Structure 1
Amino acid sequence: MTPLNLFGLFAILFMLLCYLMEERSPWWTLGFAFGCLLSSAYGFLQGAWPFGAVELLWTAIAIRRWWLALARQKAGSGVIDPAANRT
């Protein structure tokens, strides 16, 4: 197995782990985005640019999902901007 193949295997397994754990915390969604970015790099490095491009798109989608999940989590705790509550 080449180093590039090992990198691709790690990227996909990391992405899968983060995807499975997403329900636990928005930070797993951010990890999923990072895994998508790693998978995109792997796709481009191996010459499969369509795979790299789609994974890059998934990175953007996952970052947006992370941002929205983080906002929902803050809204659920009743604290959106702690500085705004100071008098």
Structure 2
Amino acid sequence: MIEIFGLIAVCAMVIFYAIEDRSPTMTLAFALSCACAAIYAFAIGSYPFMLAEGIWAVIALRKWRARLG
């Protein structure tokens, strides 16, 4: 079951990254999918991947906030 969660998180991440310029909502969705990928990485014990995805999530959240203002 955890593998399916990871697959969905990473697929969502790629899709939302590709379309994030369309609206701030897509940027937020990208950030949330990055956070889900980080949770998946933590669950499987892949801490470097968790750190990288966590950083992506923070960057995307900051970008989302900037696009709102």
TM range (shorter): over 0.9
Partner of 2:42 in structure 1? 44
> How many angstroms does 1:36 deviate by?
0.4
Distance in 2, Cα, partners of 1:61 & 1:24: 17
1:6-85 correspondence runs (5 A): 6-71=4-69
Q: Comparing both chains, which one has the higher relative contact order based on Cα–Cα distances under 8 Å and sequence gaps of 6 or more?
A: 2
Distance in 1, Cα, partners of 2:62 & 2:15: 19
Greater Cα radius of gyration, structure 1 or 2: 1
Distance in 2, Cα, partners of 1:11 & 1:35: 5
CA RMSD in angstroms, aligned pairs only:
0.7
Q: How many residues align?
A: 69
Q: Amino acid of the residue matched to residue 35 of structure 2?
A: L
Counterpart secondary structure, 2:54: helix
Unaligned runs of 5+ in 2: none
Structure number with higher helix proportion: 2
Unaligned runs of 5+ in 1: 72-87
Aligned residues with identical type, % of pairs: 39
Q: TM-score, normalised by structure 2?
A: 0.94
Q: TM-score, normalised by structure 1?
A: 0.76
